[in-house]
């Protein structure tokens, strides 16, 4: 067992799930992220709909999409400020104090195809039990994976709390 803010979490969790819901900037977003334990890491599968279509950068504005996709420190999807929602989820989850681009919570970007994104990938940076109680965030803009400490993936469009399944 390990502790998460005083809550004992059993280490034998082999699967975790986050139900994604859009916030005030994009309420139509809905989806699921499934974390499945594998021998030396975790398979992460995401299926989400309601994403905005890609819009290239113009002038001083950032592009919309591909969408930054991260595990954030705190399992708190309180909307807060409707213009900058989900700030209560904190920054990228970074248990090994790595530079941005190599945080355990840095996940591949989501590409919207008529509002839908689906993908699966493998990571050896964590097991499902490690991420229970954290949040998954979908951002408006792509992540550059290099700006420190957490890059600039833009506003937070959707959030889901990771729970044991």
pLDDT in tens for each of the 165 residues of the chain? 344 444 454 557 899 999 999 999 999 999 999 999 999 999 999 999 999 988 888 888 888 889 999 999 999 999 999 999 999 999 999 999 888 778 899 999 999 999 999 999 999 999 999 999 999 999 999 887 666 666 678 899 999 999 999
Rounded to 5 degrees, φ, ψ at 102 are: -130, 20
Active-site positions?
70, 72, 92, 100, 103, 106, 139, 156
- Structural domains of the chain, with CATH: 2-164 (2.60.40.200)
Distance CA 49, CA 5 (A): 32
Cβ atoms of 62 and 136 within 8 Å: the answer is no
């Amino acid at each position: 067992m390990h502790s998460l803010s005083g809550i004992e979490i059993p280490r034998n969790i082999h699967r975790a799930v986050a139900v994604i819901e859009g916030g005030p900037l994009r309420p139509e977003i809905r989806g699921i992220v499934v974390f499945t334990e594998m021998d030396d890491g975790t398979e992460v599968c995401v299926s989400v709909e309601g994403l905005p279509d890609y819009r290239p950068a113009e002038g001083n504005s950032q592009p919309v999409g591909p969408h930054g996709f991260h595990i954030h420190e705190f399992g708190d999807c309180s909307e807060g400020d409707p213009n900058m929602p989900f700030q209560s989820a904190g920054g990228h989850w970074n248990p090994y104090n790595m530079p941005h681009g190599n945080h355990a919570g840095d996940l591949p970007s989501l590409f919207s195809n008529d509002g839908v994104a689906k993908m699966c990938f493998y990571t050896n940076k964590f097991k499902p039990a490690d991420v229970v109680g954290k949040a998954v965030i979908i951002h408006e803009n792509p992540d550059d994976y290099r700006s420190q400490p957490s890059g600039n993936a833009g506003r937070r469009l959707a959030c889901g709390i990771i729970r044991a399944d």
